[in-house]
Amino acid sequence: MRRCDGARVRRCEGASACLFALAMLAFGGGAARAQGPGLGTPVSEAEIAAWDISVMPDGSGLPPGSGTAAQGAPIFAAKCAVCHGASGKGGPNAALVGGAPLTSGIDTTKTIANFWPYATTLFDFTRRAMPWTQPRTLTSDEVYALTAYMLALNGIIDDRDVMNAETLPDVRMPNRDGFVVRFPEKTP
Amino acid sequence: MSGDRRTPKWNDLEVVAGNGLLDRRVFLAGGAAFAAAITGYTLSEPVAAQQLVDAPWSTTAGLPIPDYGVPSRFEKLVARTLSNPSGAPRTQHARTPHQLLTGTFTPNGLHFVISHSGNPDIDPGTHRLVVHGMVKRPLSFTLDALGRYPMQSRMTFIECGGNSAPLFSREPVQGTAQALHGLGSCAEWTGVMLSTLLEEAGVDPAATWLVAEGADSLAVSRSVPIAKAMDDAMIALYQNGERLRPGNGYPMRLLLPGWEGNMNVKWLRRIKLVDMPAMSYYESRTYAPILPNGKAYQFYFLQEIKSFITHPSPGLSLTGPGVYEISGIAYSGNGRIAKVMVTADGGTSWAQAALQEPVHPKAFTRFRVPWRWDGTPAVLQSRAWDEAGNVQPTRAQIIAQRGETATAVTNAAAFPSQHYNGPTSWAVGPGGDVTHVYA
């Protein structure tokens, strides 16, 4: 039915302008809610799957697969060390291991170990953005392995720990409780 | 000059605050004659008067009109400064030259840009915006389809959460208004209200957040509370009347008036309704400023009330004693600017500035105050108030809450923290040069 409304808008511009004007009046000025012509195309979650790469802190969105630090080390050496240095010690881009206490100063370099509150973010960002020149080419197993490698380098998990959709959300990051919500009244 | 009889005698005008600040109402009383009396700021030495003759451009026909206009070739200095012009694999910043602009809207070619992995070259015909997650009907929108929705225009600033960050330095960082505050700009944005699309998709009442994601190579994503999405969020398609520039999100971006720049996701391709924040890289790490006690602020969201003087400012010299116009920009993520006060004596006394009408909510507002400079050292500063009652904090108040660096910052492009909205002080030396100081 909404598609029919959209077609009528095209044929009968004067009337549709009136309808829109009435809708604006009804909802007041400024950021008025407007009735749209309903031109969105239905799309299935299956069709969106390749784009739906959000991983939430509770682990929802994590794909099947798994990896360990031992599996991650050679992948890191091949695909990540060129920017982040051998064993994540830093290169042209950020170090991925270590970090000073946050009480060192307001400009302390933020690292996985001293700052990141959730391990799921490590999986999410690695999968969506890395490697820089070939984002979203890593397999899920590779991302789990690299995530495990970075967590193990920082002593947050053991070298033998298997990271997967069940274990990763349970990793407790050292700075999990290090945050103050700036505007609680605006934060659900 | 037909206005000679009304030409004011500047020396007779009442000084309303120390070091020669004059009453803002002389602008209204004197009209054009006052404007003519005001001395300009210069980028170079003034030249002596000389006999007027026809210049070459006055004795021959001019050039053909270009199909897309660009500024005069004499304005090449009016440009953004680039942090990473070769596109090395890291973030690129392009800063707006506030000290070379006036008015309130930023020309599209000078709007600030931060691209974390360059500007994607998006074909608008194949770009899609998907709304999915906790909705009744997951939907996909083409640019053509969105173009048939009812649109709104609103003037609003966008500012990076890291803008003005050098002012967290223990010692003042020397830099122009562009270097210190160039990661904020203002434009007229036109597009479709996000609430319209969300209502079409049918949002599950249990959804509390959405995750917005771009089509860039990093797929930059940020979590946004539903309340903001339903309030004044827009899918912006036009910027100052033309399609968005690639650096500003072509062909579509999320516009969250008054909220942190990075949340206004560019190249927007996906909105997922969810019931918790994603704790994405940029929200859980980058834009979470560290506090002096080692904790960090999370979900800063707002760009709070701020103002700074653009004229004069470092790089713009005063050419000798006389009457000048002090002007600058004030804005607040909480609404309209209500008042701006200006000091010329480092905060001892203040004069109220005139505000350029109309004053739009969450938009740059130009303020102006006339000033008779006597050639002695002066320290200029502005402070702003908004309609919600928020006051721009003093630097001492900010530092007490947020801290400052232990050692002086030497790189004006550094980000020692985020969300500085204190004042900026400019010292005018006896020779008319302007430097950055704390006062």
**Is the model's pLDDT at A10 over the cut of 90?**
no
Interface test with B, best of A8, A39, A122, A126 (most B CBs within 10 A): A39
The pLDDT value given to residue B14: 83
Q: Are residue A29 and residue A68 in the same domain, yes or no? A: no
- What percent of chain A clears pLDDT 90, i.e. is strictly above it? 80
The pLDDT value given to residue B41: 81
Q: Are residue A60 and residue A99 in the same domain, yes or no? A: yes
Residue A24: phi, psi to the nearest 5?
-65, -45
- State how far residue A36 is from chain B, nearest Cα, in angstroms: 6
Q: How many domains does chain B have?
A: 1
SS3 content of chain B, % helix, strand, coil (to 5): 20, 30, 50
User: Does B98 reside within a domain?
Assistant: no
Q: pLDDT per residue over B272-294, tens digit each?
A: 999 999 999 999 999 999 999 99
Q: Are residue A78 and residue A151 in the same domain, yes or no? A: yes
CATH number of the domain to which B261 belongs: 3.90.420.10
Range of the domain at A69: 50-170
Residue B294: phi, psi to the nearest 5?
90, -10
Comparing CB atoms, the residue among B221, B296, B299 nearest residue A178 is B296
User: Does A134 reside within a domain?
Assistant: yes
pLDDT band for position A12 (cuts 50, 70, 90): very low
> If we measure between CA atoms, which residue out of B41, B165, B158 comes closest to residue B106?
B158
Q: In the A/B pair of chains, how many CB contacts fall below 8 A?
A: 211
Q: pLDDT per residue over A96-122, tens digit each?
A: 999 999 999 999 999 999 999 999 999
Note whether A142 and A183 are within 8 A (CB).
no
**Is the model's pLDDT at A8 over the cut of 50?**
no
User: Does A130 reside within a domain?
Assistant: yes
Range of the domain at B167: 129-278
Q: Are residue A32 and residue A115 in the same domain, yes or no? A: no
Q: Are residue A85 and residue A149 in the same domain, yes or no? A: yes
Q: Is B266 exposed, middle or buried (0-12, 13-18, 19+ CB in 10 A)?
A: buried
Note whether B342 and B382 are within 8 A (CB).
yes
Nearest CA in chain A to B285: A116
Instruction: Kindly state whether A40 is in contact with chain B, defined as any CB-CB distance less than 8 angstroms.
Output: yes
User: Does A178 reside within a domain?
Assistant: no
pLDDT band for position A33 (cuts 50, 70, 90): low
The pLDDT value given to residue A2: 37
Cβ neighbors of B276 (< 8 A, separation 6 or more) are: A56, A57, A58, B208, B209
CATH number of the domain to which A67 belongs: 1.10.760.10
Q: Are residue A27 and residue A89 in the same domain, yes or no? A: no
Q: Are residue A163 and residue A71 in the same domain, yes or no? A: yes
Note whether B392 and B422 are within 8 A (CB).
yes
**Is the model's pLDDT at A167 over the cut of 50?**
yes
pLDDT band for position A24 (cuts 50, 70, 90): very low
**Is the model's pLDDT at A18 over the cut of 50?**
no
Q: How many domains does chain A have?
A: 2
Interface test with B, best of A13, A93, A102, A106 (most B CBs within 10 A): A106
* Consecutive 10-residue averages of pLDDT for chain B (439 residues): 48 85 76 55 68 95 97 96 96 98 97 97 98 98 98 98 98 98 98 98 98 98 98 98 98 98 98 98 97 98 98 95 97 98 98 98 98 97 98 97 97 96 98 97
Give me A167's structure tokens: 């274990």
- State how far residue B176 is from chain A, nearest Cα, in angstroms: 22
- State how far residue A112 is from chain B, nearest Cα, in angstroms: 9
CB contact under 8 A, B300 and A136: no
The pLDDT value given to residue B37: 54
- State how far residue B310 is from chain A, nearest Cα, in angstroms: 27
**Taking the mean position of all CA atoms in its chain, how far away is CA B253?**
18
CB contact under 8 A, B139 and A2: no
Q: Is B88 helix (H, G, I), strand (E, B) or coil?
A: coil
Q: Are residue A4 and residue A73 in the same domain, yes or no? A: no
Instruction: Kindly state whether A2 is in contact with chain B, defined as any CB-CB distance less than 8 angstroms.
Output: yes
- Name which of A25-34, A77-86, B169-178, B254-263 the model is least confident about: A25-34
Q: Are residue A105 and residue A152 in the same domain, yes or no? A: yes
Q: Is A87 helix (H, G, I), strand (E, B) or coil?
A: helix
Note whether B355 and B340 are within 8 A (CB).
yes
Q: How far apart are CA A139 and CA B59, in angstroms?
A: 69
Q: pLDDT per residue over A136-151, tens digit each?
A: 999 999 999 999 999 9
**Is the model's pLDDT at A29 over the cut of 50?**
no
Comparing CB atoms, the residue among B90, B295, B301 nearest residue A178 is B295
Please list every residue in chain A whose beta carbon sits closer than 8 Å to the beta carbon of residue B289: 106
Q: Are residue A10 and residue A36 in the same domain, yes or no? A: yes
Q: Is B309 exposed, middle or buried (0-12, 13-18, 19+ CB in 10 A)?
A: buried
The pLDDT value given to residue B100: 97
User: Does B162 reside within a domain?
Assistant: yes
Nearest CA in chain B to A8: B148
Instruction: Kindly state whether A89 is in contact with chain B, defined as any CB-CB distance less than 8 angstroms.
Output: no
User: Does A183 reside within a domain?
Assistant: no
User: Does B202 reside within a domain?
Assistant: yes
Q: Are residue A20 and residue A67 in the same domain, yes or no? A: no
For helices A13-27 and A2-11, what crossing angle results, to 10°? 120
Q: Are residue A94 and residue A119 in the same domain, yes or no? A: yes
